[in-house]
Amino acid sequence: MGIGGQFSMTMAIVSLIFLLIGAAIFALLHGIGFSVFGFKDIKPTYKKRYLIQILAIVVSYVIFWVAGKMMGTGGLMVLLSSGLGPMLLFIGILSAALVHGSLAVVTYAFVTKPDWKPAFQSPAICSGLTLVVFLAYTLMIGVLIGQIEWWFEK
């Protein structure tokens, strides 16, 4: 295996580790969401919430992959033409919405069926954290590359 193959394998392993750590944190936050929104009686175990997180990540990945295949490079160029900051902002908001939607669907399928209300409310903390992280990342990247003026000029 060459250097490129070793690098790819290392990145895959590191990504998998971060995925598992992130799923563990989000499973905890998902449980807090059940408690905060008054659904303690149907709150699944931590292990089940962890599996829900893993399945939601897979659902999100598949949706992003299909969207990427359908959009091609032309859609990315249209997004990029408005500037790096707005593109990252759009991707961040879309990612938070996708996290919320995929968590809601998987939660509904495995825990709350036939009631959609807890399925949509319980992952709100996870979605909010995702949005905050992406917005902070967008702001940080904008500052680092000197593109912050897009926040103030328009």
Residue-wise DSSP of 23-52: HHHHHHHHHHHHHHTT-GGGPPPHHHHHHH
Domain of residue 16: give its range: 3-153
**pTM: predicted TM-score of the whole model, two decimal places:** 0.78
Residue 54, SS3? helix
- What angle, rounded to 10 degrees, do the helices at 46-81 and 84-107 form? 150
pLDDT by residue (tens digit) across 28-54? Answer: 999 999 999 999 999 999 999 999 999
pLDDT bin (cut points 50, 70, 90) of residue 9 is confident
pLDDT bin (cut points 50, 70, 90) of residue 66 is confident
Q: Is the separation of the CB atoms in 138 and 90 below 8 Å? A: no
∠ CA 116-26-6, rounded to 5° = 125
Number of domains in the chain: 1
